Amino acid sequence: MSLRLRLALLYTLLLAGVLAVFGALTFVLVSKRLYAAVDEGLRAEAEAVEQAIGPGDGPLTSQRVLESFQRLSQLANELATFYVLDPSGQVLYSSVRGPALAPLPRPQEMPGYVTYRSHGQGIRLYLDPVVGEDGQVLGAVEVGQSLRATDGALSEIRNVIALGGAVALALTAGSSYLLAGRALAPVRRLAALARYIERTGDFRRRLPEPATRGEPKELVSTFNAMIERVERTLRLQAAFLADSSHELRRPLTVIRTDIDVLRSDSLPPEEQRACLDEMAAEAEAMGRLIADLLFLSREGEQAIEREPVDLSDLCREVVDRYREQADGHVLVADIEDGLWASGDRQRLAQMLTNLLENALDYTPAGGEVCVSLSRSGAWAELRVSDTGIGIPPEELPQVFDRFFRGREARAMRPQGSGLGLAIVRHVAEVHGGEVRAESEPGRGTTFTVRLPLLAR
Ligand SMILES: Nc1ncnc2c1ncn2[C@@H]1O[C@H](COP(=O)(O)OP(=O)(O)OP(=O)(O)O)[C@@H](O)[C@H]1O
Ligand SMILES: [Mg+2]
């Protein structure tokens, strides 16, 4: 059974239970009140009849009834049905013609109120014994009333309750089925889309978001965000694979060409050597590329060694190594002492090297490159800034992507894989840190790496 049907049934059953309890309660209370009113009326009538007979000694006799005949006849016009009985149960006076309403037992045997029902008709009787001063039963007054009106009213009330209940139940069943259907519609659409994706592997479709806020909207937007992410990951992976293959094919082509050249017998020895050197360099580059790709594919703890690293010492070492190469650039270092981090010294050195090489590569001769290391709370802040070509705003969000190379950067330095900054970010992240870039095209760029300091 569908969830929708189950919800609708549950609501309807609940309402049916509540209606049944309240309906029965109402019916019982109302019928009690109505019957009590009938009994009250009967008692008052009996009293009126007794008063009409008037006080007297000894049992009721035809003589006494005759004496009060006028008053009794007057009452007979006003009241429904009454009898005056002698102590043996003989009818002395009857307000109606014809046989008695119900069999008349002896007064002594008769309980106060009694209901007779025959052929669907009900009669309520009240027998009021006339008792003398010494407690002796002198006779009785019996009053009766048809219950037709009361029973009719009660059956009307019962019909109204049943009909109203049935209408309420039908309305509830219908509306809860509709509402449950509407509330569950996003879930149905979501399941359909999930089935479609599972069947086709096509992640481009999205679900329309419901207009009203609430759980369904949240579910749909979370689902959309999830498939968006899956789609992006798949796209990036495909691009990564294509880019990696492309990057590896280039040195391979160079090596193949060199092999072809080497095969010709007439090659002078110095050209042979040049070919071999080129092959060695390309093989070296390929090896580096493969190592970089492998490193980028490793996550978290498995990516790095963990040991205390003197960042201040490491920065000085890297900067000193580049001071000689930085011909034509001004290389400034401002390094605070005694900053330690926990991590992989080699990878951290590679991170700074990549940043420093970029700064030198993309800053024309005469420009300034500055490396600074300082403490900022519980963090070490490593900053590499230059006065170079800068990064256009539309390229800035992509510079950390694998294989991304800027347009101007390509023109300035044709070789390069575009993995440098991807490695920088990966190193920062596996050390529990982060990196960000700020740049003004034509004026310069600053990369800031934050790494958690080692508490010593
Ligand atoms: N200091 C900088 N100044 C200007 N642009 C920069 C700077 N650093 C990085 N970029 C931009 O970011 C891009 C990506 O840099 P990344 O180091 O990842 O690759 P690359 O330097 O092009 O190649 P390689 O893999 O050899 O490092 C560069 O191509 C360049 O457009
Ligand atoms: Mg680079």
Q: Does domain 3-156 have CATH number 1.10.3470?
A: no
Strands 81-85 and 137-146: antiparallel
| 215-297: CATH class | mainly alpha
Residue 418 near ligand 1, beta carbon < 6 Å: yes
Neighbours of 50 (CB within 10 A): 17
Nearest to 26 by CA among 154, 124, 147, 167: 154
Per the CB < 8 A criterion, the answer to whether 128 and 139 are in contact is no
Q: Bridge-partner residues for 82, per DSSP?
A: 143
| Tens digits of residue pLDDT in 34-53 | 999 999 999 999 999 988 88
Q: What is the pLDDT of residue 11?
A: 93
Residue 355 near ligand 1, beta carbon < 6 Å: no
pLDDT beneath 70: ranges in the chain: 98-111, 300-301, 456
Helix (H, G, I), strand (E, B) or coil at 142: strand
AA identity, residue 325: Q
> What distance in Å separates the CA atoms of residue 376 and residue 450, rounded to the nearest whole number?
9
Quote the ligand 2 centre to 419 CA distance (angstroms).
Answer: 7
Residue 92 near ligand 1, beta carbon < 6 Å: no
Helix (H, G, I), strand (E, B) or coil at 305: coil
Domain ranges of the chain: 3-156, 215-297, 302-452
Contacts of 63 (CB under 8 A, 6+ apart): none
Query: Residue 406: nearest ligand to its CA?
Result: 1
Residue 94 near ligand 1, beta carbon < 6 Å: no
Residue 399 near ligand 1, beta carbon < 6 Å: yes
Per the CB < 8 A criterion, the answer to whether 447 and 396 are in contact is no
Per the CB < 8 A criterion, the answer to whether 85 and 138 are in contact is no
* Domains 215-297 and 302-452 alike in fold: no
What atom in ligand 1 is closest to the CA of residue 419? 25
Residue 444 near ligand 1, beta carbon < 6 Å: no
> What distance in Å separates the CA atoms of residue 311 and residue 376, rounded to the nearest whole number?
14
> What distance in Å separates the CA atoms of residue 44 and residue 39, rounded to the nearest whole number?
9
| Tens digits of residue pLDDT in 162-202 | 999 999 999 999 999 999 998 888 888 899 999 999 999 88
Quote the ligand 2 centre to 408 CA distance (angstroms).
Answer: 13
Q: What is the pLDDT of residue 275?
A: 93
Which residue, by CA, sits nearest to atom 8 of ligand 1? 358
Tell which one of 351, 413, 421 to mutate to probe ligand 1, the residue whose CB is within 8 A of the most ligand atoms.
421
Contacts of 62 (CB under 8 A, 6+ apart): 92
Quote the ligand 2 centre to 302 CA distance (angstroms).
Answer: 24
Quote the ligand 1 centre to 451 CA distance (angstroms).
Answer: 21
Residue 11 near ligand 1, beta carbon < 6 Å: no
Q: Does domain 302-452 have CATH number 3.30.565.10?
A: yes
Q: What is the pLDDT of residue 56?
A: 73
Token couple for 61: 């006799």
Quote the ligand 1 centre to 358 CA distance (angstroms).
Answer: 6
